[in-house]
Every structure is written in C-alpha cells, then in structure tokens.
Structure 1
Amino acid sequence: MKRPQVVETVSDLRAVVREWRKQGLSVAMVPTMGALHDGHVSLMRIGLERADRCVVSIFVNPTQFAPTEDLDKYPRQLAADLDRLAQAGVQLAFTPTAAEMYPEAFAAKVTIGGPSAGLETDFRPTFFEGVATVVAKLFLQALPDLAIFGEKDYQQLCVVKKLCRDLDIPVEIVGAPTVRDAEGLAMSSRNAYLSPDELAQARELNKILRHAAQALHLGADAQQTLDEARRQILAAGFGSVDYVEARESDTLARWRRDREGRILVAARLGATRLIDNVEIVRS
C-alpha cells in the first residue's frame, strides 16, 4: 500500500500537478476538511475512476466557521487520514496551513447568491462566503479537470456549481450520492461527537425525510408534510430543528410540484448539528 505524496505549499502542489500535465494525465480533486470516513473515500474512488490522478486537500477552513462554532473542536487526525488516502490509492495530499491559504493581509472574498440564499445561510450567514472563497482558491491552486463533492452537503454542492458557472472556472463538478450506514444515517465527520444513544436517535432522521418525500410524491400538501416531519424529528429526540424545507433540485428555489426537488434538513442533537437531504421524485 503506497502512501500518497504530501505537499504543504501551493508552489509544491503546482509543481506536482505540472509534472502530471506534462505526462498528459488528467487530474481529479476532492476538497475535504479531514477526519475522513467512507463517504470521503467514495468521492476519491469516483475521482480515480474519472481521472488518471487524484489530489485530496485536507484543510480545516477557518473562514467557514462562525465565532460560536466548533473550529477548535473539529476533529483533526492527519496520520489516520493519510492511511485512508493510501488505501484508496490517492496519489497526492495537499495539507496547507492556515497561513499558507490566508497569508498576512489576505482580504479577498467570494460571494455567491442564488442557491446560497436561505437554509444554511439563515443560521450561518458567512458560511458559503468561506466555502466559495476556499474552493475558488483550491481550484486555482490545483487546476483540476474535475472535482467531486458529496450530495449530503447538497446546498454546498449547488453553490460550488454556481461558482464555477458564473466565474467560468473550467472545473467539472461531480455530485456523488450520500454514503450511509446500514440504518440510513449519512456519514459525517461530526457523527464522532454523538453518544450511542444519540446515534440511535440520529438514525431516525433519514427515515422521517424519506417518508415525507414519499408523501409529497403522492400528492400530499407540502406545508403540512413539512410541519409533520418537523414534529417527528423533535419527537425522535432532537433538541431543535433549524429548517426542514422542500426546494428545487437545481436552483434551490421553493419547490413546485412539477419540478425535481429535495427535502433538506438541519437539526440539533445534543451539541451536534446534523444535516441531510433526500430526493423528491416527481410524480
């Protein structure tokens, strides 16, 4: 099992990718914040299926955390992450410091409208500004042919697609299906925060969403269905529900029955905030 090459600077990253390009090789990228799990590995496998080489960035991006959020507590386990990359066959890990990504006097920001409106932004107002800025930087640093993002963070996926379309960034964005455990819980680095009892409660979330999506598919009233889903989530033991909403799949505008849609949710279980989404099949 060969461990990936590890680089920490933008210049070293570009040097490796430049050499790949000289050999005529295509490049995939998987941006991550580390604490890698099977969901991340599934993205890497897609990257290696679609391109000759794959680079995975591991960077806990401070600009997407609000002062009240868990930046300092976010799990960091670089040695274990590099083992995961080796098992997946990834060739290159980019592990920059915050000073490398945001040098002194850094002042640029990327703001995306459209799909960033509402949902996460209602509760984390600067989140997508931080995501869009760091993703734009990573794409310009690595210049990959394609990048793979999981559908679990569905609003983020839509924002990244909009970023590349609007700024003419020549990177194909590939959305990958959410990886779940045997009982339907979406894989997330934050699942490590959950106690055994909380894990059992968390596994009810996707079941409730799937039931609601099926009801909408069969013609149920949208608001009544979403209100009932909220009630069921709270009854399952969640302390609060930030949102549970139906949105159009492409634009994240309010869902209309003749459009493809998604139900998206964010809910808090103890000290942990979980997000998930399911497809609404058009009737």
Structure 2
Amino acid sequence: MKVFTLASELKVLQQENPNQKIAFIPTMGALHQGHLSLVQAAQQDGCLTVVSIFVNPLQFNNPEDLEKYPRTLEEDLKKLRSQGTDAVFTPTVEEMYPTQLQNVVVDLGALDRRFEGACRPGHFHGVVQVVYRLFQFVQPHVVYFGEKDLQQCLVIEQLIKQVFPSLEMRRI
C-alpha cells in the first residue's frame, strides 16, 4: 500500500496504472466497517482503490468539534493495509487549501439548508469544497459513498452532475 501526502505524488499512481479504473473513497478517518465495505466494493469492481484521510476544517462550525474529532491515522492505515487498499492520500490542510484558492460554486438548491444543513450552516459548502479538491487530485473514474449519509450523497451527486459529469458515483 502506498501512502501519499502530496497531490503531485498521486500522478505517479495514475502513470503507473494507465489502463486501470481508479476508485476513490474519501474519508475523514476514524475508519469503521462501513468505510471498509466501500473499499471491498471498489475491489470487487476490479478497481485500483484510493482512500483519502483528511479531517476537513471547513465542515466544522465549532472549532472545539474540529479539535475533538478523532484522529487515528496509524490505526486507519493498518485497517486499510489489511484490506489490501492500493493507496491512501493523507494531505495536510496547506495542501488542500493553499492561499489564493478559489472556491467552487455548486447550486445545491435547498439541500444545504434542510435537515442536517439547518443545524450546521456551512457544513455542506465545506463538503463540496473538500470533495471538489480531492476529485481534482485523485482523478477517479468512480467514487464510493456510504448511503447512511444520504444528504451528503445528494450533495455530492449535485457536485458530480455540475462539475464532473463523467464521474460515476456508487452508493453502498
């Protein structure tokens, strides 16, 4: 399993596997069986599996919540290694959000203001920003998301429809 911290390093993975579909599973770490089932699904589909682990500060309204979010990188890497994951991308905040970065604009309708979005203003805007950047870096052919986060899936589907129309999304 290869572990990358820089987006530029991901190009090597793409160059070494030009004819293989890249499957991508974005996470914030603290991996559990649900995450691992996404990896298994990607592997069953015959894809090169790339998992990201990045705690996205833009998804947290409260700095204390960000600070308290579990960070279990070594344990997560062991789990992914035991699953046979091909690559893991663990960028820094500086790698994900360099200065002078322009945000992507996606029309979410009322999706970001209802249900979970009503309680967490700005949360889904943060999700869109990080997933947009991750898709740019990883350049996947197919992405896997857990259906238990249905509202997030609907938000990501809008991002894909509006910005990455050739990208396939699988909900597991």
SS in 2 for 1:110: coil
SS in 1 for 2:50: strand
The aligned amino acid for 1:151 is E
Compute the RMSD of aligned alpha carbons. Answer: 1.4
Is the Cα–Cα contact under 8 Å of residues 112 and 128 in structure 1 kept in the other structure? Answer: no
Aligned partner (choices 129, 154, 165) of residue 133 of structure 1: 129
The aligned amino acid for 1:90 is T
Check 1:169–1:142 CA distance in 2 against 1; reply closer, same or farther (3 A cut).
farther
Q: Report which stretch shifted further, 102-111 or 129-138.
A: 102-111
The aligned amino acid for 1:127 is H
Structure 2: 5+ residue runs without aligned partners? none
The aligned amino acid for 1:163 is L
Give the helix-richer structure, 1 or 2. Answer: 2
Deviations 1:123-170 (A, max 9, x none): 111011110111111111111110100011110001101111122442
SS in 1 for 2:62: coil
Is the Cα–Cα contact under 8 Å of residues 104 and 132 in structure 2 kept in the other structure? Answer: no
Is the Cα–Cα contact under 8 Å of residues 30 and 149 in structure 1 kept in the other structure? Answer: yes
Is the Cα–Cα contact under 8 Å of residues 44 and 54 in structure 1 kept in the other structure? Answer: yes
The aligned amino acid for 2:85 is V
**2:97 equivalent to 1:96:** no
SS in 1 for 2:55: coil
SS in 2 for 1:144: coil
1:149 is aligned to: 145
Is the Cα–Cα contact under 8 Å of residues 30 and 44 in structure 1 kept in the other structure? Answer: yes
The aligned amino acid for 1:55 is V
Is the Cα–Cα contact under 8 Å of residues 48 and 54 in structure 1 kept in the other structure? Answer: yes
- The TM-score, its normalising length taken from structure 2, stands at 0.93
Deviations 1:77-134 (A, max 9, x none): 1110011101111010000000000112334243432333411121111011110111
1:118 is aligned to: 114
- Higher RCO (CA 8 Å, separation ≥ 6 residues): 2
Counterpart-to-counterpart distance in 2, 1:144 and 1:37: 22
The aligned amino acid for 1:18 is Q
What is the CA distance between 1:28 and its match in structure 2? 0.3
Q: How many corresponding residue pairs?
A: 171
Which stretches of structure 1, 4 residues or longer, exceed 4 Å deviation after superposition? none
Check 1:8–1:15 CA distance in 2 against 1; reply closer, same or farther (3 A cut).
same
Q: Which of structures 1 and 2 has the bigger CA Rg? A: 1
Deviations 1:25-81 (A, max 9, x none): 111000000010111000110111123310000000011111355101100011100
Q: Tell me the percent identity.
A: 40
2:160 is aligned to: 164
**2:17 equivalent to 1:11:** no
2:26 is aligned to: 31
Check 1:121–1:69 CA distance in 2 against 1; reply closer, same or farther (3 A cut).
farther
SS in 1 for 2:39: helix
Give the strand-richer structure, 1 or 2. Answer: 1
Counterpart-to-counterpart distance in 2, 1:54 and 1:44: 7
Check 1:69–1:51 CA distance in 2 against 1; reply closer, same or farther (3 A cut).
farther
Counterpart-to-counterpart distance in 2, 1:94 and 1:75: 18
SS in 2 for 1:28: strand
Counterpart-to-counterpart distance in 2, 1:112 and 1:74: 28
The aligned amino acid for 2:38 is L
1:44 is aligned to: 39
